[in-house]
Chains A and B, each alone.
Chain A
């Protein structure tokens, strides 16, 4: 009889114990696979919000702008830069930035005004797709502005309502004009949601009497260029400007995304330690029930190595069964979390490290969704079964046959 056949029969000698062990492993696998999919989805949507809506990959400022953001510190000579960047395959948009006060009929709130050219902006960001009420900026409508989600709520305005913007223009006079809300954005980040006011580049220049270049260049790297390399390259081109990757600009968020994988692994290991203890105990019992039997096997010439293998294979079979069952049962759940998603209700808009979370979490299924939990499970079970298998391999034939 082959070792495999023997092992397969052995695990069904105590079918209830095998079923419980396999069920525990399957449950653990189901939970970890789905958890992995949801976390991957959440992290990629956060990263998407950062790159596509808020930060871009790389930003360029005048050298002193980030220390003291002032309307006067702008990057000049923007056009040749844009040409160079585009020739190298970078996508880029320019933004004009200024602080001010936005006032509706009844109340007012601090505003972070951003002027941009919709055509150019659409090359580099997806913000035009993120309007939840009304519509995005239109070059034909210089009076139209688009507001962050919380700003619209605290001003109690909707598309069609009027908003006054008040600030200080570059000549020191009061900048003051009336605009119409064209659209309201979905959640993006603390700053944009609470204070973001988007308007046309041209409208910004009129409001603030601003005729400089741009305060911020928002750059997307070509797909095949690594972020660090791109930053180095750009710094080489324009040594006198402040050029930063989104990771330098959002260090906390960047660190959080990096450590998320580790946090996920810790979670899985915790679940699997519970599984490992169950496996050790179940296999130890399976070994001690059969001490006599192993003694006989040894006496008729079966080597310790083969006994060791029998136990390993028995455990591998239970683990394999659990992988099949666990993954099969995960599929409908995975389908649900990756197509319908989890509606987190009021949690949508809560922010972590300044970036808002989407109101619906969609799971993302990648090969890693299955590979990481399965590999970790196999590893932990293999570790757990070593001791029982060694015990079995070391059984002394004579003593074992006397054993009751």
Chain B
């Protein structure tokens, strides 16, 4: 044994029973494979949905009146938006900050009337990165300016109203004083996204024209929608932004604006963590069985080693190293079998529409039509550590048993 380190010794032991080791490796890599794909699907999809919710809602972080969250009305506004937008933009991860007025309205044409949601925007400041429906304009064009006298409707909503491009649409809402007020606009364009909530219930108005109707100042709106490059930083950005604000405005992260979507995501993430934990326990039970039997088979051998001068702690370390190798090789094998499917799913994705139906919505937010995977670095580290910890924990008792061999007894026994 001279010149052979304990690590090499453990490695050789592993391959003495090749079939058993291969089966154990198969179970480890199967577990890691599933955990990676499941987590990667969630990481990517929920991030996509949160971004989408931010784009049709009010950004990843919203600056609004402190009471707006409780009772959203057009009387609760924030002013001094330009200054707030400037301080938002100075936070490193912030991509853009745009003013918006949003709320419910009643739309009427000569033929019919329907309730709808409206978002009033400044066409000069919005891009598809901040307002995803801009990409879904199928007929007509975006407003020429913030003071345009136009309106853009979801395609289904427009057909319900019997409105054609160029037709007059009357919108009615409650103004700053709580009085009913109406404005007239011409239908400029239609949006068709495939999401029923948007196509059947969304209208866009030019923010300047609406400010005039509602009696808002030039620098006033219900919201400043702040977009950041990574939704996971929402809380941090909200806190940083809040520090620069006075008492008359609050910076609210997306998950407080949309608690139901956030709860749904938390349920799904919690569910998959639970399944992964059950899998880890089951796989660890299998590893324990293998290691334990392999120790019991070698009691005589361990007795001899001890008689030759191995200390109990060295035997303990030997078996722990064996389980370490199992975990390590299992992870490498997992990486090899996961790479292909992962690459395919991250570039091509799954056709979600075929799997769960067209126009699937969660809490009113459309699911991406193609489900792709993308693992957060943090998740990758957690899965690796989890798999390694499960393997090492399964090895603890067998290793302890190996360290407690009675040399004389075990050599006699066989």
- Residues on A lying within 8 angstroms of B by beta carbon are 14, 16-17, 20-21, 23-24, 27-28, 31, 67-71, 99-101, 103, 105-112, 154, 156, 166-168, 190, 195, 251-256, 259, 267, 270-271, 273-275, 277-278, 280-282, 284-285, 289, 344-347, 349-354
Contacts and interface: CB of A to CB of B under 8 A. Distances in A.
A21 B362 CA distance: 40
Given A21-B289, A190-B364, A285-B20, 20 more contacts: A27-B278, A70-B112, A99-B106, A99-B112, A99-B115, A103-B174, A105-B178, A106-B73, A107-B103, A110-B115, A154-B71, A190-B197, A195-B115, A252-B359, A255-B357, A270-B275, A271-B275, A278-B285, A278-B286, A347-B267
Interface stretch (B23-31, B92-100, B210-218, B225-233): B23-31
B19 interface: yes
Interface string B255-278: 000011111101100000001001
Going nearest first, the 9 A-B pairs with the smallest beta carbon separation are: A110-B115, A101-B106, A278-B286, A350-B260, A252-B357, A107-B73, A99-B114, A255-B357, A277-B27
A106 B356 CA distance: 41
A346 B73 CA distance: 22
B180 interface: yes
A345 B293 CA distance: 47
A350 B104 contact: no
B116 interface: yes
Q: Which among B106, B160, B172, B279 has the greatest number of chain A C-beta atoms within 10 A? A: B106
A281 B289 contact: yes
Contact of B115 (A16, A112, A285): A112
Contacts of B117: 110
Interface in B170-187: 172-174, 178, 180
B289 A278 contact: yes
A293 to B, nearest CB: 15
Contacts of B275: 267, 270-271
Contact of B356 (A20, A195, A259): A259
Interface of B is mostly: helix
Contacts of B263: 344-347, 350
B372 to A, nearest CB: 19
Nearest to B356: A256
15 contacts: A14-B293, A28-B278, A103-B180, A168-B108, A190-B197, A252-B357, A252-B361, A255-B357, A267-B275, A277-B27, A281-B24, A281-B289, A346-B263, A349-B260, A350-B363
B23 A281 contact: yes
Contacts of A271: 275, 278-279, 282
B196 A69 contact: no
A111 B115 CA distance: 6
Nearest to B162: A68
A109 B278 contact: no
Contacts of B413: none
A110 B174 CA distance: 11
Contact of B260 (A253, A274, A282, A351): A351
A281 B360 contact: no
Nearest to A277: B27
B217 to A, nearest CB: 20
B164 interface: no
A198 B117 CA distance: 20
A195 B115 CA distance: 8
B358 interface: yes
Nearest to B26: A277
Given A106-B75, A110-B117, A345-B263, A100 B106 contact: yes
A107 B34 CA distance: 50
Interface in B232-264: 259-264
B363 A274 contact: no
Nearest to A345: B263
A79 B259 CA distance: 45
A101 B290 contact: no
B270 to A, nearest CB: 10
Contact of A154 (B72, B262, B279): B72
B19 A284 contact: yes
Given A112-B115, A273-B30, A281 B174 contact: no
Contacts of B358: 251-252
B355 interface: yes
Contact of A27 (B27, B106, B282, B355): B282
Contact of A350 (B116, B160, B261): B261
